[in-house]
Amino acid sequence: MQDKQLKTQLFKQIKIINMNSLKEQIKSLSQEQGDLKLQRKTVNFEGDRKLDPSVAASRHAQNRNVLRWSHAAYDILRGKDPKQSWPGYGDLTAGWESNNVAVIVSKHQPEWDAYKAKREAQQAAWEASKVEATA
């Protein structure tokens, strides 16, 4: 029973740590995309106009690219293939898009390494407590 409690406590801590800035950036941009979608309408628009439709359309296009790059960078940081979130990655990407992904990866790499180290330490502590409980 004590083993289960320790395990759930460690996984709760891991979930809290897991909220890094890259994920928060992806979430905020995704939310903004939904808001901009309505603002792009020029015909049959209902509601309060916060932005000019052309400004909303250009911001939506910029966010779309940043989201695509961020998802690819997140996959790379997790050690996954970026083609999971971006099917044409590597084949259809231009050199400047790959460079933008690399910039995002290098920006968030130290944070990700710290997260991985902390998670590995928690896993080792859990394994050690499991061994002590059985002994």
Write out pLDDT tens, residues 23-76: 888 898 889 888 888 777 777 777 777 788 888 888 899 988 889 888 888 888
Q: Is 120 exposed, middle or buried (0-12, 13-18, 19+ CB in 10 A)?
A: exposed
CA-CA-CA-CA torsion sign (80, 20, 94, 36): positive
Q: How confident is the model at residue 93 (pLDDT cuts 50, 70, 90)?
A: low
pLDDT of 12 over the 70 cut: no
Distance CA 124, CA 128 (A): 6
| Count of positions (residues) in the chain | 135
pLDDT of 129 over the 80 cut: yes
pLDDT of residue 94: 66
Q: How confident is the model at residue 15 (pLDDT cuts 50, 70, 90)?
A: very low
pLDDT of residue 3: 56
Angle CA(26)–CA(102)–CA(13) in degrees, nearest 5? Answer: 45
**pTM, to two decimals:** 0.66
* Six token digits for residue 68: 């695509």
Of 16-25, 86-95, 112-121, which has the strongest mean pLDDT?
112-121
Report the candidate in 15, 17, 10, 16 with the shortest Cα–Cα distance to residue 126.
10
